[in-house]
Chains A and B, each alone.
Chain A
């Protein structure tokens, strides 16, 4: 049946519409032909589909063909059966007759003959030629037609219709059309039924050996074609679908080796939508079809129907899945990876990218490998030359990378195995069993070895003869090339395959297109990866600029996402481009990036190469320093543990851990570290410099940098900068444990640990006086200064001591220094130590040292660096004034300032004496006693008992061994005494702050001798010989003596002298001054008041002094200016007659300034001896001053 295939195809292509036969019995066709054909195609046909459901078909094409036409004549019945689709679907019998007899005798038998064939669907069209005006003829025609109807219509079916040529017959055409349609429908049903039966029969034999797909195909396609002709495209499509299914089953089920096809010239081009691409007879093979062409044919037929059904979308979707699925089987057989097969694989970079993408593609394994064409030996040699010329590309930096196989690793084996003439797997196995051809071209040594081997195996001379010899790679290539030459019809494709250069161009174009499309569809990784391949080609062609740009994109992607393994593959290429382009900065950066990749990705040697590149570039003659970020390579952090803590103003050294990712030692010409204050952003970063060149070992290094004094605050490490030659590097990467986490794109916000804390200024040391109680004035005394470091070392500290006025250091003595325990501690010790009080130092067994004052300063000993210590300085306060006693009437008014002396201290300490502490210490000096006097009793005989009270002023026991009073003029001791109290009193011990009294018995000298008028002694002097026993840690103590041992004896010999004023009573008053009473209203602040004194002469002025104006008296008003404002003359002369009883009143206007009890102004008469003035009131008195009256002048009534 397969023999009919050609005929079937030609018939099928010849007819594409339904045929209606016209049996022109009465020679009417020329007359009615135009009328009939006007009806075509049928506007609306009603047909049954395969499932016998009515389907309306629009515009069904058809053709009326006379039965006498050659197309319908001379067909064999067998042919008719087979190609039934082309047989007429209906037969229209055209008759006319104007005479009833003629009908009966001639026409009727003829018609009977025509319609007796039941196979045909027929209908009779009676054409009436009668003119409507001719009644006779019309009647006759009607009669004849009635007769025909009787004879040929049956009950079931009316098969006749009448056409009036001259009369209006509007219903005729519809009648005709429906009758034709009925016939067509019946015919169609019958034929479909027939094919169905046939197909079923054939299907039942499916598994029998006699079964033949071609027969099945013809039947099935015939049926499909019938449907297609009837415009039942749905049914036709279904038939094709079933046919495809059946085909796939037959193709896949049997173990038969079926030819795939697609090896003809032109098969390389897409012909998916053209069913007539290849004649079916060409692709038939035994009992089936070759798959490649046939599936294409089926798909084209299906698509055609789908287009007719106006379903182009379905064409696309079916086409998609068809291509996907078909490409699988296509790939099993089709020649892909053409370039490799003809030996241009060397032009493709053996990168993992290509290996990966090519491993995604299958490679062709035709069942029979094409054999080497004759006379191709020269081509083979040319190919082999190509291999030899191929220089395996060595990566920059001499990186040794195993090139990954692009070619199918078993090409050599497979190709030989599939050769028809070679028995499977013997020689070929021997040939490449030892060394798979994947490694054939990997290393030069391997390659040459194999090549020479193949050369010895087969010289071109024996090439033709030895058919069983396995093909060599070059031969395989040549064979493939020839085979492809037969197949490929596309001239462009062939051109691309014609030479390596053309191929490379094609490869580049394809890459670019693919990359663009990937980028457009947001498959950026695919796109970028292909960019890398484009770069490889660009690089090869010397277009380094473009190559570098593309490589940069690839590197950015890989490093951005942290695919280091892949980055390690591309980065050397980029580096090479940059080196060629003389992009030093870029090249350096690439080297650094290479170095900062995972260590495992490169060998040590390679990494060392990277480093040497960096260093040689850094020291080469670059014009400008190149900035470079080495954050991934050099990282740093502070040392673990608490941050370095410094006091304000202190310098220090900062220790920083730096990790170097370089494989070898690297010398940094300079290294700077910046510090950033954490809470003080406006301060900016401070830079610390390491002056000397630093050599970083691989791994962890500890470097120290000098730290100048910083402002208070907390500091973190900022950036690390430095120079290597002209390379200015910079790293801002912290690391916790090491430089391992160089995938910095993931770097978290690392908690920046402060590395340095500079404290706010605080007192680092305290200098204080050890005692607060006064020391002895005019004697050498120890002044204690407590030096108290406050958590700060005083190592090397220098103390400047500068005494103020009235104080000098006893330089003949050493300054003593001893350790000191704070008061609270020492109190406890005090009790225990009471027995051994003689020892002057508080702490016995502690450090003690004598220091020498040098140029006003001393250096503190080291032991005193961190402990409290006390410094004893021997000083002497000088005061030339004699101590003055006071009377009990006028209380002690001694100013404390008199005994105050200051010592200015300046302590320089800190690491570089940068810290300075200054303090002025006040030291209080005093006389041992304060003396006050009182007349305790006035005896009748004029003896006055003068009580002298001694107030101890110091915190020390004073022992009085002797005391005597040198009296002033006008007073004498009673008896013959030498002015000493009873000696039995002595020694008199006075405890600290207690008082003692001495009693002297004196009397007034009645007649002062003229000799003594010189007034040598205006004051009485009290002399006290005393000793002191005190502790220098408490207060006054035994004076420092030159021989410091004999303190006891020396203490006895101290002399205290105090002046006492003894006032003689007013014995002969010559003047009286009386303070006149004040106004009764009292005094108010701010109120003017008149103070009045009355001066009266008590006796006649008889003095013989040289006074020019004896009747004038000098007066003076004294008042405390704080309390009083005085208006008027404070001092002046008043005239007072010398006669006894003369009197005068002095009045002064005063304004009291403060309220309270104040002393009023006091009138003095300076020219008159106090002894001659009798005052009333006799002593100082107070008056009351009221506060100012409220002023209401500003109160405005409401």
Chain B
């Protein structure tokens, strides 16, 4: 399942972070997401020589860890989407694309201040729907 999703701004500031675990360990996930930015930075600064990744926004697995897997996605505007999963592989960017679409809708809100935290409840609902549906589809 997905333990945590996060949107991180281009200055590496958290725009939205939501954990989906039962345990009271949101801070822990904050740490994981925050530290994974190091990996994102590294990927972005040292792009692989292989061609197809040139325009690829999906960064793939960031952390090969045991309990959690951290995946990343980088938009053209340097906004990062990070998800932390437990025992779940994200094979393609499909989840991220849906997430990205939701984000784009959220920041298109004229009352949203760019660079500030996303407070839209609609966005939160949409994200949790995506997360739930993803959990279901991959489980099935």
Which residues of A come within 8 Å of B, CB atoms?
324, 328, 331, 352-353, 355-357, 359-362, 402, 404, 518, 522-526, 529, 561-563, 565-566, 569, 741, 743, 745-746, 748
CB distance from A411 to the nearest CB of B (A): 15
A741 to B103: give the CA distance in the assembly, Å: 20
Contacts of B13 in A (CB 8 A): 561-563, 743, 745-746
If A362-B66, A362-B67, A522-B41 touch, does A563 touch B34 (CB 8 Å cutoff)? Answer: yes
Instruction: Give 24 CB contacts A-B under 8 Å.
Output: A352-B25, A352-B28, A352-B31, A355-B25, A357-B31, A359-B25, A361-B66, A362-B66, A404-B27, A523-B42, A525-B37, A529-B31, A529-B35, A561-B13, A561-B14, A562-B13, A563-B13, A563-B30, A563-B34, A565-B17, A565-B26, A566-B30, A566-B31, A748-B115
Residue numbers in A under 8 Å from B28 (CB-CB): 352, 355-356, 359, 404
Given A356-B29, A360-B65, A743-B13, check contact A523 B38 (CB 8 Å): yes
Most buried by A among B27, B29, B65: B27
Asked whether B52 is an interface residue with its Cβ less than 8 Å from the other chain, the reply is no
Residues B1-57 near A (CB distance < 8 A): 9, 11-14, 17, 24-32, 34-35, 37-39, 41-42, 45
Query: How far, in angstroms, from A561 to B10 measured CA to CA in the complex?
Result: 10
- Contacting residue for B34 out of A357, A359, A525, A748, CB 8 A: A525
Are B14 and A563 touching (Cβ within 8 A)?
A: yes
Interface of A is mostly: helix
Residue B68 CB within 8 A of the other chain = yes
Q: Which of B14, B25, B41, B63 contacts A404 (CB 8 A)?
A: B25
Other A-B contacts than A356-B28, A402-B24, A566-B34, 11 sampled, CB-CB below 8 A, are: A352-B28, A355-B25, A356-B29, A359-B68, A522-B38, A523-B35, A526-B35, A529-B35, A561-B14, A563-B13, A565-B27
Q: A776 CA to B134 CA in the complex, in Å?
A: 103
| Cβ B68 vs Cβ A360 within 8 A | yes
Please, how many angstroms separate the alpha-carbon atoms of A957 and B38 in the complex?
101
Say whether B37 contacts A360, CB under 8 Å. Answer: no
Complex contacts, A324 vs chain B, CB 8 Å: 64
CB neighbours of B132 from chain A (8 A): none
* Complex contact A746–B115 (CB within 8 A): yes
How close is B40's CB to chain A, nearest CB, in angstroms? 10
Identify B31's interface contact among A353, A402, A518, A741, CB under 8 A: A353
Closest-by-CB residue of A relative to B63 is: A360
Minimal beta-carbon separation of A771 from chain B (angstroms) = 62
Does B87 reach chain A (CB closer than 8 Å)? no
Question: Which residues from A are CB-within-8-Å of B45?
Answer: 522
Q: Please name all residues of chain A whose beta carbon is closer than 8 Å to the beta carbon of B27 when the two chains form the complex.
A: 352, 404, 565-566, 569
Counting CB contacts under 8 A, is B78 at the interface? no
Q: In chain A, what residue has the closest Cβ to B65?
A: A360
A526 touches B29 (CB 8 A): no
Asked if B41 contacts A352 (CB within 8 A), the reply is: no
CB distance from B11 to the nearest CB of A (A): 7
Q: Contact: B66 with A360, CB < 8 Å?
A: yes
Flag whether B116 is at the interface (Cβ < 8 A): yes
Which A residues touch B32, using CB under 8 A? 356, 360
Minimum C-beta distance from B67 to chain A (A)? 5
Is A328 touching B66 in the complex (CB atoms < 8 A)? yes
**Among all A-B residue pairs, the 3 with the closest Cβ atoms:** A562-B13, A352-B27, A523-B38
Q: Which of A331, A353, A526, A562 contacts B14 (CB 8 A)?
A: A562
Closest chain-A Cβ to B47's Cβ sits at a distance in Å of 15
A563 to B16, CA, bound (A): 11
Collect the chain B residues with CB atoms within 8 Å of residue A523's CB.
35, 38-39, 42
User: How would residues 91 to 122 of chain B score, 1 for a CB under 8 Å from any chain A CB and 0 otherwise?
Assistant: 00000000000000000000001011100000
Residues of A within 8 A of B38 (CB): 518, 522-526
Q: Which residues of A contact B12 (CB under 8 A)?
A: 561
* Cα(A357)–Cα(B32), bound, Å: 8
* Distance to closest chain B CB from A858 (angstroms): 58
Chain A neighbourhood of B34, CB < 8 A: 525, 529, 561, 563, 566
Q: Are A525 and B35 in contact (CB under 8 A)?
A: yes
Contact at B11–A745, with CB atoms within 8 Å?
yes
How far is B68's CA from A357's CA once the two chains are assembled, in angstroms? 11
> Which of A353, A361, A563 has the most chain B CB within a 10 Å cutoff?
A563
Whether the Cβ atoms of A356 and B11 lie closer than 8 Å is no
Chain A contacts for B37, CB-based, 8 A: 525
Residue in A closest to B33 when the chains form the complex, CB atoms: A563
CB closest chain-B residue, reference A561: B12
Give the distance to chain B from A245, nearest Cβ to Cβ, in Å. 22
- How many Å from the CB of B27 to the closest CB on chain A? 4
Q: Closest residue of chain A to B29, judged by CB?
A: A356
Alpha-carbon distance A523/B17, docked complex (angstroms): 21
Q: Which residues of B contact A404 (CB under 8 A)?
A: 24-25, 27-28
Whole-angstrom CA separation of A526 from B34 in the bound complex? 9
Chain B's closest residue to A352 (CB) is B27
Chain A's closest residue to B119 (CB) is A740
Q: Which residues of B contact A355 (CB under 8 A)?
A: 25, 28
A359 to B38, CA, bound (A): 18
Complex contact B116–A741 (CB within 8 A): yes
Most-contacted residue by chain B among A355, A360, A741, A743 (CB, 10 A) = A360
Cα–Cα distance between A957 and B9 once the two chains are bound (Å) = 89
Tell me which of B9, B30, B67, B116 contacts A565 (CB under 8 A). Answer: B30
The interface residues of chain B lying within 8 Å CB-to-CB of A565 are: 14, 17, 26-27, 30
CA distance in complex: A746, B35 (Å): 21
B14 and A352 contact, CB distance less than 8 A: no
Nearest chain A residue, comparing its CB with the CB of B15: A562
User: Which residues does chain A contribute within 8 Å of B17, judged by CB atoms?
Assistant: 565
CA distance A446 to B45 in the complex (A): 49
Asked if A352 contacts B68 (CB within 8 A), the reply is no
Bound-state Cα–Cα, A357 to B26, Å: 14
Residues of A within 8 A of B35 (CB): 356, 523, 525-526, 529
- Docked Cα-Cα span, A518 to B28, in Å, equals 19
CA distance A529 to B32 in the complex (A): 11
C-alpha spacing A563/B26, complex, angstroms: 13
Residues in A whose Cβ lies below 8 Å from that of B68? 359-360
How many Å from the CB of B94 to the closest CB on chain A? 26
Q: Nearest A residue to B24 by beta-carbon distance?
A: A402
B128 to chain A, nearest CB (A): 19
When distances are taken between beta carbons in the complex, the residues of chain A under 8 Å from B63 are 360
Given known A-B contacts A360-B65, A561-B13, A563-B13, A746 and B116 have beta carbons under 8 A apart: yes
Q: What A residues does B64 contact at CB under 8 A?
A: 324
Q: Which residues of B contact A518 (CB under 8 A)?
A: 38
By beta carbon, the residue of chain B nearest A521 is: B42
Chain B residues contacting A361 (CB-CB under 8 Å) are 66
Q: How far is the CB of B117 from chain A (nearest CB, A)?
A: 8
* A522 and B42 within 8 A (CB): yes
